[in-house]
Amino acid sequence: MQIAFTKMHGLGNDFVVLDARDHALPPLTGDVAAALADRHTGIGCDQLIVIEPSDRADWRMRIYNCDGGEVEACGNASRAVGLLIGGAVTLETKGGLIATRPHDNGIAVDMGEPRFEWDAIPLGYAMDTLAMPVGWPVGDGALENPVAVNVGNPHAVFFVDDPYAVPLAEIGPLIENDPIFPERVNVNVAAVTARDAITLRVWERGAGITRACGTGACATAVAAMRRGLVDRTVTVTLPGGPLTIAWDDHNRITMTGPATISFTGSFDWGDYA
Ligand SMILES: N[C@H](CCC[C@H](N)C(=O)O)C(=O)O
């Protein structure tokens, strides 16, 4: 069975997008998602995205990390789907309802409200989420006291002097899989460089180091705002480029940035299932 796909990215965080708005796909399992996402034997991407009908929003967006796990949110993919569909779009995700609209700087996404309660992250037990009383040894120092925040998906945000000096490939998986995070976690290492500027790198849950992470940018921005380190609109610069994040007086996060269609193609479902 031939299936069409659109290859897309947001600042280099890339996606294989399957459009099932007017026809159902064959049953999609985590194994099929991981096979399609494999950069050696599949099409290759950080996340596999499926657009399908919804009875709660215009459409439903399903997100599979390249490890095959289905997850709640993906900021960069939200912009990609918004670009693909066009106009103002509401999307149902496992992490809640979001809304996209065209913007002068690409696509703007209402990412909803951040959650800071320990059991909403979730964490394994009650603790201060503004500075978790934990640390992980790194070299002759440590990554410690992260902010924990849920922006549809779980994030730990560490503020450091230089994100590019952190051995993220080494420490990322250890933190991602620490039992203190029952649903694992996305690991953000960030430096505040001005009241309106943050530099960020991300080890993504189920995907590893990516060139950009939209939810990571949202999580890091509101974490910095909660600590009083930045104003309520900031530019978060990732390896793939900048995103603008605003946290408004109605407690809603807006993320604005580019989305790109790379190419279209098709594959035989039988090659992967
Ligand atoms: N790895 C993330 C999902 C993708 C998030 C990232 N690609 C983004 O743009 O937000 C998670 O497991 O929660």
State ipTM: 0.92
**Looking at domain 2-100+259-271, which CATH architecture does it have?**
Roll (3.10)
Which is the catalytic residue, given 45, 66, 213, 218?
A: 213
Q: Please compute, for residue 111, the number of CA atoms within 13 A of its CA located in the half-sphere on the CB side.
A: 34
DSSP 27: P
Concerning whether 74 is annotated as a catalytic residue, the answer is yes
For residue range 218-245, what is the model confidence (pLDDT) as tens digits? 999 999 999 999 999 999 999 999 999 9
Band (pLDDT 50/70/90 cuts) for residue 209 is very high
CA–CA separation, 102 vs 83, rounded Å? 7
Which 3 state secondary structure label does DSSP give 59?
A: strand
Which atom of ligand 1 is nearest to 204's Cα? 1
Nearest to 49 by CA among 75, 79, 1, 81: 81
221 contacts 234 by C-beta, under 8 angstroms: yes
Q: Which residues contact 271 (CB under 8 A, 6 or more apart)?
A: none
State how far the Cα of 204 lies from the Cα of 188, in Å rounded to an integer. Answer: 8
- Domain 135-251, what fold? Diaminopimelate Epimerase; Chain A, domain 1 (3.10.310)
269's enclosing H/E stretch is none
| pLDDT attached to residue 194 | 98
CATH 3.10.310.10 maps onto the chain at: 2-100+259-271, 135-251
> Shortest CA distance to 80 belongs to which of 5, 27, 192?
5
Pocket test for ligand 1, best of 9, 11, 71 (most atoms within 8 A of CB): 71
Q: Determine if ligand 1 sits within 6 Å of the CB of residue 82.
A: no
What one-letter code names the amino acid at 197?
A
pLDDT at residue 202, rounded to an integer:
99
Identify residue 172 by its one-letter amino acid code. Answer: G
Q: Looking at residue 89, what DSSP letter applies?
A: E
Cβ–ligand 1 distance for 205 under 6 Å, the answer yes
Q: Tell me if residue 170 falls in helix, strand or coil.
A: helix
Identify the band that residue 6 occupies on the pLDDT scale cut at 50, 70 and 90: very high
Residue from 11, 17, 47 to probe ligand 1 pocket by mutation (most atoms less than 8 Å from CB): 47
DSSP 3-state of 193: strand
Confidence of residue 133 (pLDDT cuts 50, 70, 90): very high
Give the pTM: 0.98
- Among 144, 234, 248, smallest CA distance to 192 is for 234
